[in-house]
Amino acid sequence: MSESTLSYASSTAPASALVLGAMMFGTRVDESTSFALLDRFVERGGVWIDTADCYSFWASADGLGGASERVIGRWLAERPGARERVRISTKLGAEPRWAGSWPASRSGLSARAVRDAFAGSLDRLGVEAVDLLWLHQEDRSVPIEETVEALSELTASGAARRVGASNHPAWRVERARAHARAVGAVPIDALQLNATYLRPRPGTNPTSHPFGVLSDEQRDFADAHGLELWAYTPLLSGAYDNAEKPVPEEYDHPGNARRLEALDEVARELGATRGQTVLAWHVAHGVRPMLGGSRIEQLDIAMDAVGRVLTADQVARLDAPA
């Protein structure tokens, strides 16, 4: 869609509940397709766009991240008024120090690393501030208090309006929040974790992060303290509806057989796909699902899904299987 025909819808729920994940923009998703997805997302009332300074180093020609932020920056530059219609979130801490060095050597969360990484993100995005800055993964080589104080400089200046934590255990987040309160800084108020309707088999982890999967403890912590929950990979990369994409083996256990029965039952009642029902279930629980698709039709299906309202009985039946 050309700039002249782009019209921005007002950001209203439920479309604003969905997050557009830009992980593969500029690498496996070319710039033209990325722009089309961004345009369509905003036309339909989407608000949040999520990226990271390390996206996507594993798919880039030089083995480093930055491509996704650059594409979003060019899109914003070519769409006058777009910045006022969207909220930008980006992450730092997981960029490899040099090509091939991840995970052994990455930028981390020292005060200097936070400042330098964030300056690079602002430059690539072409913005003066981001709406939410995430700690991408924990860095136990650095006291969390040092990281918090570096973040406090960014929030105090207005360059980062909020801060969140991705792939962190609850106790580290609470320690960070306590220190932020003690020094008068903006505390972490959002968690970004892997979460879907099916539950991984105990003792398995479908992510590359030790604390990457949303646990009952993290959910309870978020509920008790009013933290937003963002769910990445909610659709298991299409496995709910694409027979060519098997459900990962970490989810192969009897409890999930019962959950799939409940999911199919509610999906039939809604006249929806399994994936759409999963997205609607997330929204019913106050969770922001993140979509990382590469086609307009995938985006439209997802945005249709978050507009579906589950009844209390449907939510209860989906929640019931162990």
User: At 230, which CATH number?
Assistant: 3.20.20.100
pLDDT at 297 over 60: yes
Q: How far apart are the first and last CA of the chain?
A: 46
pTM to 2 decimals?
0.94
**pLDDT recorded at residue 21:** 98
Average pLDDT in the 166-184 region?
98
Q: Alpha-carbon distance 162 to 124, whole Å? A: 19
Give the domain extent around 215.
3-319
Cα atoms in the Cβ-side hemisphere of radius 13 Å centred on 281: 28
**pLDDT recorded at residue 14:** 76
How many domains does the chain fold into? 1
**pLDDT recorded at residue 293:** 83
Residue type, 158: G
Describe the crossing of helices 67-78 and 31-43 by its angle, rounded to 10 degrees: 60
List pLDDT tens digits, range 31-41.
Answer: 999 999 999 99
Q: Alpha-carbon distance 44 to 300, whole Å? A: 9
Q: Judge contact between 189 and 180, C-beta under 8 A.
A: no
pLDDT at 6 over 60: no
**pLDDT recorded at residue 4:** 32
List pLDDT tens digits, range 88-110.
Answer: 999 999 999 999 999 999 999 99
Nearest C-alpha neighbor of 230 from the set 139, 154, 167: 167
Residue type, 31: E
Q: Residue-wise over 97-115: b if at least 16 C-beta within 10 A, else e?
A: eeeeebeeebbbbbbebbe
SS in 3 state form for 113-139? Answer: HHHHHHHHHHHHHCCCCECEEEECCCC
DSSP 228-293: EEEEESTTGGGTTT-TTSPPPGGG-SHHHHHHHHHHHHHHHHHT--HHHHHHHHHHHTTEEEEE--
pLDDT at 84 over 90: yes
Q: How confident is residue 13, by pLDDT bands cut at 50, 70 and 90? A: low
**C-alpha dist (Å) from residue 216 to 51, 145, 194:** 26, 26, 13
